[in-house]
Amino acid sequence: MLNNSQTALTSTIAAIATPMGRGGVGVIRLSGPNSYQIALALTGRQAFKPRFAHFCRFYDSDDTVIDEGLVLYFPAPHSFTGEDVIELQGHGGMILQQQLLTRVFELGANQAVAGEFSARAFDNDKLDLVQAEAIADAIDATSVAAAKSAMRSLTGEFSQKINALLEQLIQLRLYVEAAIDFPDEEGVDFLADEHIAKQLRQVCEQLHTVLATAKQGQLLRDGVSVVIAGRPNAGKSSLLNRLAGQERAIVTDIAGTTRDILQETIVLNGLTLNLTDTAGLRHTDDIVEQAGIERARQAITQADLLLMVYDAHREHEPLRLATELFGSLPNANSILMIANKIDLSDNYQNLPKQFSSQEQIYYPVYVSCKYGTGLEELVNQICDKVGFHPPENSLIARTRHLDALRRTQMALQEADEQLHLFHAGELVAESLRQAQISLNEITGEFTADDLLGKIFGSFCIGK
Residue 256 pLDDT: 47
The whole-number average pLDDT for the span 421-441 is: 91
pLDDT score at 275:
93
Q: Give the tens place of pLDDT for each residue, 393-429.
A: 889 999 999 999 999 999 999 999 998 888 888 999 9
Q: Are residues 27 and 122 in the same domain?
A: yes
Residue 29 in this model has a pLDDT that exceeds 70: yes
* pLDDT confidence of residue 181: 76
> Tell me, what's the pLDDT at 294?
80
* 287-308 pLDDT, tens digit each: 877 777 788 888 888 899 999 9
- Residue at 45 is within a domain: yes
* Domain membership of residue 97 as a residue range: 6-127
CB 433 within 8 A of CB 166: no
Residues 298 and 436 in one domain: no
Count the helix, strand and coil residues of the chain and give each as a percent rounded to the nearest 5: 45, 15, 35
Q: Do 175 and 309 share a structural domain?
A: no
Model pLDDT, residue 246 = 58
- Residue 15 belongs to a domain: yes
Q: What is the pTM of this model?
A: 0.80
pLDDT digits (tens, 9 = 90+) for 91-131: 998 999 999 999 999 999 999 998 999 999 999 999 999 99
Instruction: Quote the crossing angle between the two packed helices 157-181 and 194-222, to the nearest 10°.
Output: 150
Beta strand pairing call for 305-311 and 335-340: parallel
- The answer on 318 and 180 residing in a single domain is no
Has residue 458 been placed in a domain?
Answer: no
| Model pLDDT for residues 63-79, shown as the tens digit of each residue | 999 999 999 999 999 99
Residue 203 confidence (pLDDT) above 90: yes
Averaged pLDDT of the chain: 86
Distances (CA, A) of 325 to 284, 301, 336: 18, 9, 12
Residue 10 has a pLDDT of 77
Average pLDDT over residues 15-37: 94
Strands 305-311 and 224-230: parallel
Q: Looking at the predicted structure, is the pLDDT value of residue 7 above 80?
A: no
333 and 300: one domain? yes
Sign of torsion, CA 206 211 213 217? positive
Q: How many domains does the chain have?
A: 3
* CATH at residue 236: 3.40.50.300
Neighbours of 74 (CB within 10 A): 20
* SS3 assignment, position 258: coil
DSSP β-ladder status, 360-362 and 355-357: antiparallel
Q: Quick check: is 261 in a domain? A: yes
Count the Cβ atoms, other than its own, within 10 Å of residue 330.
11
Query: Are 378 and 242 found together in one domain?
Result: yes
Distances (CA, A) of 452 to 116, 259, 311: 11, 42, 50
For residues 315 and 334, state if they share a domain.
yes
At residue 97, the pLDDT reads: 96
pLDDT digits (tens, 9 = 90+) for 149-173: 999 999 999 999 999 999 999 999 9
463 lies in some domain: no
Confidence of residue 286 (pLDDT cuts 50, 70, 90): confident
Residues 304, 186 share a domain = no
Of all helices (H) and strands (E), which one includes residue 425? helix 425-443
Which ranges of 182-331 would DSSP assign to H, the alpha helix? 194-222, 236-244, 287-301, 317-325
Residues counted in the chain: 463
Same domain, 10 and 98: yes
Which CA distances in Å does 256 have to 227, 253, 300, 344?
Answer: 17, 9, 18, 21
pLDDT-based confidence at residue 263 (cuts at 50, 70, 90): confident
Amino acid at 111: Q
Are 234 and 376 in a shared domain? yes
Pick from 227, 228, 306, 221: which is nearest to 271 by CA? 221
Considering the domain architecture, whether residues 96 and 163 belong to the same structural domain is answered as no
Question: Which pLDDT belongs to residue 2?
Answer: 44
CATH number, domain with residue 90: 3.30.1360.120
Q: For residue 251, what pLDDT band results from cuts at 50, 70 and 90?
A: very low
Please give the pLDDT value at position 178.
Answer: 80
Question: In this predicted structure, what is the pLDDT of residue 39?
Answer: 98
Please say if the pLDDT value at position 190 is more than 70: no
> Span 48-55, mean pLDDT?
98
Contact (Cβ atoms closer than 8 angstroms) between residue 96 and residue 26? yes
Of the listed ranges 27-41, 115-129, 322-336, 355-369, the least confidently predicted one is: 322-336
Q: Which residues of 219-241 are buried (b: 16+ CB within 10 A; e: fewer)?
A: bbbbbbbbbbbbbbbbbbbbbbb
- Give the neighbor-by-neighbor strand order of the sheet with 262-268: 262-268, 271-277, 224-230, 305-311, 335-340, 365-366
- In this structure, the number of other CB atoms found within 10 A of the CB of residue 176 comes to 26
Give the CATH number for residue 168. 1.20.120.430
Whole-angstrom Cα distance, residue 281 to residue 290?
Answer: 9
Interatomic CA distance for residues 28 and 15, integer angstroms: 6
Do 215 and 155 belong to one domain?
yes
Structural domain includes residue 106: yes
Residue 444, pLDDT score: 85
pLDDT tens digit sequence for 376-386: 999 999 999 99
pLDDT grade for 448, boundaries at 50, 70 and 90: low
Element (H, E) at 95: helix 94-106
Closest CA to 157 of 176, 137, 130: 130
| 262-268 and 335-340 beta bridge pairing | unpaired
Residue 461 has pLDDT above 60, yes or no: yes
143-150 mean pLDDT: 92
β-strands 360-362, 365-366 pairing: unpaired
